[in-house]
């Protein structure tokens, strides 16, 4: 009775060719997304979160390439779809809220036209064509709490504030009632009251149509409030995967621990400076054998962490990639403590 996940990503690798060889920005990422669930993706800026999401719609910018792995929607390979079939999936079964609303909205069309066009393309069979599609676009704007949606629908992207553009993107993505929503920093540009409204709108749609959400965000509080499970990326690799509660209660990976410690909420009482992870992420993580975090890791075990990263299943649903959790790492670590 094993049903395949709605979306599954296996061993995904993405590279950008360059003068000095390929730079690998996503390296062997695997995860599954089930109907109705919300999975958070957090991690260092530049760790490959957006590229992972973009690859699911085959939208990696040139000259980037998927160089390995599989992506399947309901068991069907997305990487093998024809261009035509792909266009049906994009914005239809899988919708994306892009990190940069300004570059993904067309400056020469009003926002209402842009949403209506998406509705016509994907929901024509429901009779949403012509004027009906326009009305649906206005409704979509109303649902993301844009005041005076009729007037706003006739405006161009540059006439809106940053947060309004963001909401237009969200309205467009949700207007097509997708099975999978890839949301890349969907609420970063929004104030917390609108953020709360949008997140509850997303939850509502999840209950209604069983939409699955991949939520990329730097906002750990949003993750804590909305995600069932969390994936922690570092330098293109999944470092830790756990249910949200366990991750916040007991982060296991030194990188995850460093991330949580950086929260202003977790700063020592009265501290004037915030904690942060010292050092820089590697420029070309693909070139590094062993743990890509080791140069910054406070718990590094010399002689061990240079070895290929292990994948350790701590308990069902809890995965970690760190030498501290292997046989040899354990012994070395306890030696070091003595």
**Stretch of 96-104, 207-215, 301-309, 322-330 lying at the interface with another protein (CB under 8 A):** 96-104
**Stretch of 23-31, 94-102, 207-215, 246-254 lying at the interface with Mg ion (CB under 5 A):** 94-102
Q: 68 and 153 in contact (C-beta within 8 Å)?
A: no
* Bridge partner list, 42: 232
Distance (Å, whole) CA 270 – CA 11: 44
The verdict on 195 binding ligand ATP (CB under 6 A) reads: no
Q: 26 and 54 in contact (C-beta within 8 Å)?
A: no
The verdict on 274 binding another protein (CB under 8 A) reads: yes
DSSP conformation letters of 118-180: HHHHHHGGGT--HHHHHHHHHHHHHHTT-SSHHHHHTS-GGGS-HHHHHHHHHHHHHHT--SE
What the block records as the tokens of 20 is 């000095």
The verdict on 28 binding ligand ATP (CB under 6 A) reads: no
DSSP single-letter state for residue 326 = S
Per DSSP, the three-state class of 223 is helix
The verdict on 69 binding another protein (CB under 8 A) reads: no
Which one of 36, 92, 163, 310 is in contact with ligand ATP (CB under 6 A)?
A: 163
The verdict on 112 binding ligand ATP (CB under 6 A) reads: no
By DSSP bridging, strand 237-243 and strand 180-184 are: unpaired
Which one of 48, 69, 149, 157 is in contact with ligand ATP (CB under 6 A)?
A: 48
What contacts 234, CB < 8 A, 6 or more positions away? 43, 44, 47, 255, 281, 292, 293
The verdict on 162 binding Mg ion (CB under 5 A) reads: yes
x-marked contacts with Mg ion along 2-41 as a string, rule CB under 5 A? ----------------------------------------
The verdict on 110 binding another protein (CB under 8 A) reads: no
Chain residues in the site for another protein (CB under 8 A) = 16, 42-47, 50, 61, 99-100, 102-103, 145-148, 151, 159-164, 166-167, 185, 188-197, 200, 218-225, 244-245, 248-249, 258-260, 262-267, 272-277, 280-281, 283
Q: Give the footprint of Mg ion on this chain (CB under 5 A).
A: 50, 99, 162
């Amino acid at each position: 009775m094993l049903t395949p996940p709605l979306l599954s990503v296996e061993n995904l690798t993405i590279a950008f060719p360059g003068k000095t060889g390929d730079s690998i920005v996503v390296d062997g990422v695997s995860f599954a997304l089930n109907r109705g669930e919300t999975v958070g993706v957090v991690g260092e800026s530049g760790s490959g979160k957006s590229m992972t999401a973009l690859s699911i719609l085959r939208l990696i910018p040139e000259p980037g390439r998927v160089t390995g792995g599989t992506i399947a929607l309901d068991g069907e390979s997305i990487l093998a779809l024809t261009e035509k079939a792909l266009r049906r999936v994009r914005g239809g079964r899988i919708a994306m809220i892009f990190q940069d609303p300004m570059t993904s909205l067309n400056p020469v069309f009003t926002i209402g036209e842009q949403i209506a066009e998406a509705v016509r393309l994907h929901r024509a069979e429901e009779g949403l064509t012509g004027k009906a599609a326009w009305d649906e676009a206005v409704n979509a704007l109303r649902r993301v709490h844009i005041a005076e949606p009729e007037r706003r629908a006739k405006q161009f992207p540059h006439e809106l504030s940053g947060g309004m553009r963001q909401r237009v993107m969200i309205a467009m993505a949700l207007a097509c009632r997708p099975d999978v929503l890839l949301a890349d920093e969907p609420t970063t540009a929004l104030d917390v009251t609108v953020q709360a409204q949008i997140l509850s709108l997303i939850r509502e749609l999840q209950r209604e149509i069983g939409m699955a959400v991949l939520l990329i965000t730097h906002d750990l509080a949003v993750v804590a409030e909305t995600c069932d499970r969390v994936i922690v990326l570092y330098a293109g690799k999944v470092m830790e995967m756990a249910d949200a509660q366990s991750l916040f209660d007991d982060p296991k990976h030194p990188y995850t621990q460093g991330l949580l410690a950086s929260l202003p909420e977790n700063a020592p009482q009265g501290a004037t400076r915030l904690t942060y992870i010292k050092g820089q992420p590697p420029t070309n993580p693909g070139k590094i054998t062993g743990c890509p975090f080791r140069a910054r890791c406070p718990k590094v075990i010399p002689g061990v962490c240079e070895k290929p990263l292990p994948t350790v299943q701590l308990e069902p649903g809890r995965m970690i990639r760190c030498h501290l959790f292997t046989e040899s790492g354990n012994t070395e670590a306890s030696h070091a403590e003595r």
